[in-house]
């Protein structure tokens, strides 16, 4: 790869980073929202470096139209592969993790979130809209004697994943830093037919004290009364 090609690779990578952070929310498929400004900064630096390299090469060609000395600075041809990631982002950006990731971690227990503090009562009134992370934390605490779920309807949002007959999983991946460390927060849903895998749904129902056993892992269970399809959130992680 000539120096011009290296500069184009930098420019394309920087443009891809700016594209996924400024023209849309695709970056949320890979990292937490707080990383947006850092990605924009990295994209701007790469664009500046790549653009400077392209201008430098253009000036050299203008000064030496015979092409003498242009063979200097060649790198390995495999370096052109660096263009593939930015081109892939422009052509078809990888989607957020889904049911396949959740199915690969069925024998992994959900982490006990907020185990060190007791959660207060749910807001009064109609069904409480809470996250799967909060529902899981409340289910663990109810199991330990601090019950804030019995007798209350909740509304949860996530994507569907298969889990055998007469039940299915509602899943939301919880991310600390990036998609590589995402862990599935999941509950077993009964009482309503299973939606198609990876379909985003909103489920209304009540916590069931009888936990589900899925791949020898105790999983909180929800007895659903209603389910409806919803669009994928701009930030698919919790």
The pLDDT, as a whole number, for residue 158 is 94
Measure the CA–CA gap between 32 and 177, rounded to whole angstroms. Answer: 6
The continuous run of DSSP H or E covering 236 comes out as none
Of 10-24, 43-57, 80-94, 187-201, the poorest mean pLDDT is in 80-94
Contact 158, 199 (CB under 8 A): no
Measure the CA–CA gap between 8 and 218, rounded to whole angstroms. Answer: 52
Contact 9, 82 (CB under 8 A): yes
Q: What is the pLDDT of residues 147-160, one digit of tens each?
A: 999 989 999 999 99
How much is the pTM? 0.68
Sketch the domain layout of the chain as residue ranges: 3-91, 99-229
Topology of the domain covering 99-229: OB fold (Dihydrolipoamide Acetyltransferase, E2P) (2.40.50)
Contact 221, 206 (CB under 8 A): no
Residues 6+ positions from 34 with CB-CB distance below 8 Å: none
Helix, strand or coil for residue 155? strand
Read off the pLDDT band of 22 (50, 70, 90). confident
**Does the pLDDT value for residue 40 go beyond 80?**
yes
For residue 225, how many C-alpha atoms fall within 13 Å in the half-sphere facing its CB? 10
Contact 50, 10 (CB under 8 A): yes
């Amino acid at each position: 790869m000539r120096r011009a090609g290296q500069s184009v690779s930098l420019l394309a990578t920087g443009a891809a980073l700016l594209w996924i952070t400024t023209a849309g929310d695709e970056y949320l498929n890979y990292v937490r929202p707080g990383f947006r400004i850092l990605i924009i900064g990295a994209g701007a630096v790469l664009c500046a470096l790549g653009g400077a390299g392209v201008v430098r090469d253009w000036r050299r060609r203008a000064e030496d139209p015979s092409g003498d000395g242009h063979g200097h600075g060649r790198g390995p041809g495999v370096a052109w592969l660096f263009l593939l990631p930015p081109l892939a982002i422009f052509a078809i950006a990888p989607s957020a993790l889904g049911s396949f990731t959740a199915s690969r971690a069925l024998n992994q227990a959900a982490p006990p979130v907020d185990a060190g503090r007791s959660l207060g009562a749910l807001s009064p009134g109609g069904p409480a809209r809470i996250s799967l992370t909060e529902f899981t934390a409340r289910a663990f605490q109810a199991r330990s004697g601090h019950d804030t779920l019995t007798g209350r309807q909740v509304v949860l949002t996530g994507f569907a994943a298969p889990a055998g007959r007469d039940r299915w999983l509602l899943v939301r991946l919880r991310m600390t830093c990036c998609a590589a460390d995402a862990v599935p927060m999941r509950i077993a849903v009964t009482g309503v037919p299973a939606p198609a895998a990876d379909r985003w749904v909103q489920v209304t129902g009540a916590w069931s004290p009888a936990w589900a056993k899925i791949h020898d892992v105790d999983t909180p269970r929800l007895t659903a009364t209603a389910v409806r399809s919803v669009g994928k959130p701009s930030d698919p992680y919790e």
